[in-house]
């Protein structure tokens, strides 16, 4: 049930975000920015497409196996698109998205409970610095490791196993990046927050599953703070109260 609930909370958040003016504005702003950054990063990455392909397998002269080389080229293209999307997400987080996520979470919390609980009031600069520090163990480091595993999967035998593993790691931590917004804002210790992730691992896999849908994943990521905030308020705050 945790797995299914995770998926359903993501859907609920997307629907609520689309129906609510303020959330829709910030979600679409983040969506548009990530698309633009993705297009730029994809263009830069594809400039090295042929070099990467030659590193893996130089074009064969035999026509009998040339079709395999073309298939590999298409697979590599899809992988590069995925990598560019992940890199774009990280870049957008570092530049501005982390603030948008927190604002969407605050807006959702206020709509549900009529107030926003936080440990202390921080200036805009201190808030940005605090949120950015949370991104290193929560998303940037895990997703970077996932990218390295994904690239390694192209170069070693049984690489498909590494690619599946890297995708699993990525969606878990991308989901946690959203469910952790409230506890991070309330200055809950990182160890406690990570323990919460471990206990709800199936929920986070279910919540992060839509992030694997090509094209739509950016839309789900843009509105994920809404569903994640709903989950934390209804499940965690409900238990504490």
Contact 156, 162 (CB under 8 A): yes
pLDDT digits (tens, 9 = 90+) for 198-234: 999 999 999 999 998 887 888 999 999 999 999 999 9
**Which burial class, exposed, middle or buried, applies to 88 when counting CB atoms under 10 A from its CB (0-12, 13-18, 19+)?**
buried
Contact 38, 218 (CB under 8 A): yes
Note the pLDDT of residue 166.
81
**DSSP summary character for residue 60:** P
Cα 15 to Cα 79: distance, rounded to the nearest angstrom:
30
Note the pLDDT of residue 78.
75
Note the pLDDT of residue 92.
85
Place of tokens 């629907």: 15
Cα 163 to Cα 151: distance, rounded to the nearest angstrom:
8
Note the pLDDT of residue 158.
67
CA distances from 132 to 2, 102, 181 (A): 29, 11, 12
Contact 203, 7 (CB under 8 A): no
The torsion region of residue 182 among left (phi > 0), alpha (psi -120 to 50) and beta comes to alpha
Low pLDDT (below 70) residues in the chain? 154-159, 237-241
Q: What is the pTM of this model?
A: 0.81
Note the pLDDT of residue 167.
82
Contact 146, 169 (CB under 8 A): yes
Cα 27 to Cα 18: distance, rounded to the nearest angstrom:
8
- At residue 183, φ and ψ (nearest 5 deg) are -60, -35
- The Cβ-side half-sphere exposure at 126, using a 13 Å CA radius, reads 5
Note the pLDDT of residue 233.
92
Cα 86 to Cα 84: distance, rounded to the nearest angstrom:
5
Q: Is 100 helix (H, G, I), strand (E, B) or coil?
A: helix
Note the pLDDT of residue 154.
64
Pull the structure tokens for residue 165.
Answer: 């593993």
Note the pLDDT of residue 237.
62
């Amino acid at each position: 049930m945790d797995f299914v609930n995770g998926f359903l909370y993501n859907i609920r958040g997307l629907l609520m975000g689309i129906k609510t003016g303020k959330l829709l504005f910030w979600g679409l702003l983040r969506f548009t920015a990530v698309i633009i950054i993705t297009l730029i990063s994809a263009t830069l990455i594809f400039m090295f497409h042929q070099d990467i392909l030659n590193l893996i397998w130089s074009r064969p002269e035999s026509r009998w196996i040339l079709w395999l080389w073309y298939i590999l080229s298409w697979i590599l293209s899809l992988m590069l698109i995925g990598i560019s999307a992940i890199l774009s997400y990280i870049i957008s987080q570092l530049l501005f998205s982390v603030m948008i996520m927190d604002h969407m979470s605050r807006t959702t919390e206020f709509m549900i409970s009529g107030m926003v609980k936080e440990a202390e009031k921080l200036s805009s600069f201190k808030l940005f610095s605090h949120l950015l520090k949370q991104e290193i163990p929560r998303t940037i480091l895990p997703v970077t490791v996932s990218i390295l595993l994904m690239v390694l999967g192209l170069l070693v035998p049984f690489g498909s196993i590494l690619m599946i593993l890297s995708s699993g790691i990525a969606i878990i931590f991308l989901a946690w990046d959203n469910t952790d917004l409230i506890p991070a804002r309330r200055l809950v210790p990182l160890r406690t927050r990570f323990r919460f992730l471990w206990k709800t691992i199936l929920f986070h896999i279910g919540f992060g599953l839509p992030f694997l849908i090509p094209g739509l994943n950016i839309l789900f990521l843009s509105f994920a703070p809404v569903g994640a905030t709903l989950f934390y308020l209804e499940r965690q705050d409900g238990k504490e109260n």
